[in-house]
Amino acid sequence: MTPSGFLALYLAFFGFEFLFETILTRLNLRAIDKNKSSVPSAFRDYVDGDMYKTSVAYSLARGRFSIAVSVIGAAVVLAVVLSGSLGVIDNLIAGIKLPPAVEGVLFVAIVAAVFHITSIPPSLYSQFVIEKRFGFSTITAKTYILDEIKSIALSTVLGIPLLLLLFWFIRSAGEYWWFFAFLAVAALQLAITVIYPVLIAPLFNKFSPLEEGNLRTKIEKLARDLNFTASGIFVMDGSRRSRHSNAYFTGFGKAKRIVLYDTLVQQLEERQVLAVLAHEIGHQKLRHILKRLPVSLLLTLLSLFLVDVLLGADPLFAAFGIQRATAHGLLVILAFCSGPFTFLLTPLFTSWSRRHEYQADKFAAESGGYAGDLKRALIKLGKDNKTNLTPHPLYSFFHYSHPALSERVAYLEELESAGG
């Protein structure tokens, strides 16, 4: 294929993704607007008119904002690709005569920095304007800046060794470098998952053991009843940034930690917190995370193999304005291509994830009659988070990792009437 052939193919997929996503978001906005006059029947017992009005306004504001962000994002990508800037940066770096691996790290870092900088104004607007207007964001300028510094430091500390390792494999590990690199990357991913709860998460939040008392005793009893071992129950200061709430598990095996957002503990009643935890334990017991592992490993392997196949494809580099075929150039090109060429697979992963959510709900229902409490917890959280109660079915099918609230409530009611 010629450079212009590659470029045309890329632009076609890129344009298709942009159009598709914009139409989907517009459909979603229209569905919210169409239903805005009265509370959807499934929620009439729980949500009053004023509350519904704010949730509609919030969903519309977020949707409109996401369209604006994607227009700006698309303009930046097109400007970078079509202006030949990538080639200019690469030539400048080549002129300094650095060792190839250092050149590679520098190139990737510069491109990543450009995209990161363009993402700062939208992120500021989102956190300091929209989220503040609707009373979610509690973040201060100081926390925001510290978060920025910490995440840049973290990507540097984790990213540079990973890149150096990859470049080393490509250059020195022979014909099957991609397979050996895969083993190394997989081991690294595993290592990061293990160190995440102990070393990385505490950089951003404070985790304090849940204090002795009723809730703690009941959670411990629930874990025992469900034969679930965890090394501790922690409360995380999520309220430092936002009033949105959540609960999750981190770590592996016996080192698993139960993490509750402080906002969750404040917003829910005791039995509702237990219901949310029973659901989370369900994910663990049904091995949902373990089931996703082979897929993510396979994708890593395929990507590395693709790097091997495309390393010699000079016209591809020329299509993106890069004059020499290098591993670092290819990594950046693949980063540009990954969205447009894979976004149609999104519903495959989201519907799989939604199935897991239903299964975990069923687990919670069967493990102690939590269906009703879980339903009330989800409605409470949905209300507090001003969740969109009327997403367009196509939008939620494509993007939602969890079933739409109305679908989930209907399912839980079914389980409830079945005695769960």
Query: How near is the Cβ of 166 to Zn ion at its closest, in Å?
Result: 33
Of 395, 399, 405, residue with least CA distance to 25: 395
Instruction: Work out the number of other CB atoms within 10 angstroms of the CB of residue 362.
Output: 20
| Rounded least distance, CB 189 to Zn ion, Å | 22
Q: Which of 103, 361, 373, 384 is catalytic?
A: 361
Residue 107 and residue 333 in contact, taking contact as beta carbons nearer than 8 Å: no
Q: Are 139 and 244 in contact (CB under 8 A)?
A: no
In the complex with Zn ion, the residue whose CB is nearer, 180 or 397, is 397
Give the phi and the psi of residue 175 in degrees, each rounded to 5: -60, -35
Nearer to Zn ion, 31 or 378 (CB): 378
Question: Please, what is the minimum distance in Å from the beta carbon of residue 283 to Zn ion?
Answer: 6
Going by the DSSP 8-state scheme, the letter that residue 197 receives in this structure is I
Closer by beta carbon to Zn ion, 360 or else 377: 360
Q: Has 361 been annotated as catalytic?
A: yes
Helix (H) or strand (E) holding 250: strand 247-250
**Total residues at interface with Zn ion (CB under 5 A):** 2
The token duo for 355 is: 């199935």
CA–CA separation, 376 vs 360, rounded Å? Answer: 16
Task: Provide, rounded to whole angstroms, the least separation between the CB of residue 106 and Zn ion.
Answer: 41
| Residue 157 near residue 195 (C-beta atoms within 8 A) | no
For Zn ion, the closer CB: 236 or 276: 276
Rounded distance between C-alpha atoms, residue 5 and residue 315, angstroms = 9
Shortest distance (Å) from residue 277 CB to Zn ion: 11
The helix (run of H) or strand (run of E) holding residue 258 is: strand 257-261
CB nearer Zn ion, residue 103 or residue 357 = 357
**Binding letters toward Zn ion, positions 354-383, x by CB under 5 A:** ---x--x-----------------------
Torsion of CA 188, 313, 12, 84, to 10 degrees: 90
Residue 246, SS3 per DSSP: coil
Residue 390 vs residues 28, 55, 307, 346, 397: alpha-carbon distances, Å: 8, 10, 42, 21, 13
For Zn ion, the closer of residues 271 and 288 by Cβ is 288
Task: Please check whether residue 131 is in contact with residue 351, taking contact to mean a CB–CB distance below 8 angstroms.
Answer: no
Task: Please give the Cα distance from 372 to 402 (Å, whole number).
Answer: 18
Cβ 412 to Zn ion shortest distance, Å: 13
Name which of 147 and 413 has its Cβ closer to Zn ion.
413
Taking the complex as a whole, how short is the minimal distance between the CB of residue 280 and Zn ion, in angstroms? 6
- Sites for Zn ion among residues 330-359 (CB under 5 A): 357
Positions in 104-143 near Zn ion (CB under 5 A): none
Draw the binding track, 143-182, toward Zn ion (x: CB under 5 A; -: no contact): ----------------------------------------
Q: Are 1 and 364 in contact (CB under 8 A)?
A: no
Least separation, in Å, of the C-beta of 278 and Zn ion?
11
Measured from the Cβ of residue 172, the count of other Cβ atoms closer than 10 Å reads 9
Q: Which is nearer to Zn ion, 31 or 381 (CB)?
A: 381
Angle between helices 371-384 and 346-366 (to 10 degrees): 130
d(CA 119, CA 315): 30
Amino acid identity, position 349:
F
Looking at 280, 357, 373, 384, which residue is catalytic?
A: 280
The dihedral built from the CA positions of residue 43, 45, 51 and 53, taken in this order, carries a sign that is positive
* Residues that are catalytic: 280, 361
Contact set with Zn ion (CB under 5 A): 357, 360
